[in-house]
Amino acid sequence: MSDIGFIIPTAPQFDFQRTVLSHGWLMLPPFTWDGEEGALAYAYESAAGNVLRLQICGAPDGVQAHLSDSAPMTESLEAELRRAVRTMLNIDWDLSPFYAAMRAHQSYEWLEEERRGRILIAPSLWEDLAKVLLTTNCSWSQTVNMCRQLCLLGAPHPNIKDCHAFPSPGRIAAMDFDQFAESVRAGYRSAYLYELAGKIAKGEIDLGAWLRLDSAALFKAVKSLKGFGDYAAGTIARMYGHFDHIAIDTACHTMFAERHNGGVKGSVDDIKTHYERFGPWRGLVMWMDIMRHHGE
């Protein structure tokens, strides 16, 4: 038990900042990112129903986490928070086989050198599903806006203004649909989101079981949800450690055209064919290509 939080040791290949910056998730509440301090914060709703502001920073040979709102840290809460941090940063991924496989390919040395490949996710699959749905068929700025509005429906922090946890499925399911849709302003996506929340709340979907599925089964399960197609299922699969699908969206098309296809837009089959050479790592290589391309 400690008021200053705890440290989770990490393997040498782990890079906190690279993980946080692995995609746009750090911009979506209840995450906030302080780039100058290198601190990631997350409004976390504990199993006991308390909303806490969890702050996570890089530390020598590990990551350090603490509650920035002086909330008391009990032993069981610390265990819960440790699990959440491990999940969010995908700390338990072993990327050694990925780096080893990529040594056979030219122009990808930077992956291992820069310890890239680890991806930031939410503490719950429900939250990631909801967020991925909010990336479909809209600009990124709209995704951020919709997510912000969605989060306002979550349980509020007791003494930090405008700080809410991500809304639980039950919290959404308990709302009137029209009120929900008017709050989130997610267009036709609102119905898909509301339906998903309802199914989880009623126990018709067990996302805990989904976490134990293999790549093909998880992909299929996500695609069975309304509003989730190849892109969304591939994105979720990638975030949960399965890289044998390519999540093709406009960002992928743009990157592929400019980086691999002489500025000409390629077909979906062109893209799939190009990445086949990376076998089970193809989905991760494609995403790293996007991130690399984006950073240039």
- Report, in Å, the least distance between residue 249 CB and DNA: 3
Residue number with CB closer to DNA (56 or 232): 232
The nearer residue to DNA, 77 or 88, going by C-beta atoms, is: 88
Binding mask 200-239 for DNA (x = CB under 7 A): -----------------------x-xxxxxxxxx-x----
User: Of 42-50, 59-67, 131-139, 166-174, which part binds DNA (CB under 7 A)?
Assistant: 131-139
Among 2, 106, 107, 141, binds DNA (CB under 7 A): 141
Q: What is the residue-wise DSSP string for 267-292?
A: PHHHHHHHHGGGGGGHHHHHHHHHHH
Shortest Å distance, C-beta 263 to DNA: 15
The window from 72-80, 158-166, 197-205, 244-252 that contacts DNA (CB under 7 A) reads 244-252
Q: What is the spatial distance between Cα 130 and Cα 172, in angstroms, rounded to a whole number?
A: 12
Residue 281: phi and psi, rounded to 5, are -100, 5
For DNA, the closer CB: 131 or 157: 131
Q: Which residue, 2 or 141, has its beta carbon nearer to DNA? A: 141
175 binds DNA (CB under 7 A): no
- Closest approach, Cβ 32 to DNA, in A, equals 16
Among 32, 46, 50, 137, binds DNA (CB under 7 A): 137
For position 85 contacting DNA by CB under 7 A, the verdict is no
Least distance (Å) between residue 178 CB and DNA: 10
Closest distance to DNA from the beta carbon of 240 (Å) = 13
Q: Give, as ranges, the residues between 4 and 43 that touch DNA (CB under 7 A).
A: 23-24
- In the bound state with DNA, the residue whose beta carbon lies nearer, of 10 and 180, is 180
From the CB of 148, what's the least distance to DNA, in Å?
11
Nearer to DNA, 43 or 196 (CB): 196
Distance separating alpha carbons of residues 64 and 66, to the nearest angstrom: 7
Using CB under 7 A as the binding rule, whether residue 165 contacts DNA is answered as no
Selected binder of DNA within 32, 46, 68, 142 (CB under 7 A): 142
Answer for the pair 164, 151: CB distance below 8 angstroms, yes or no.
Answer: yes
Pair 51, 164: CB distance under 8 Å: yes
Sites of contact with DNA (CB under 7 A) = 23-24, 132, 135-143, 145, 181, 185-188, 223, 225-233, 235, 249-251
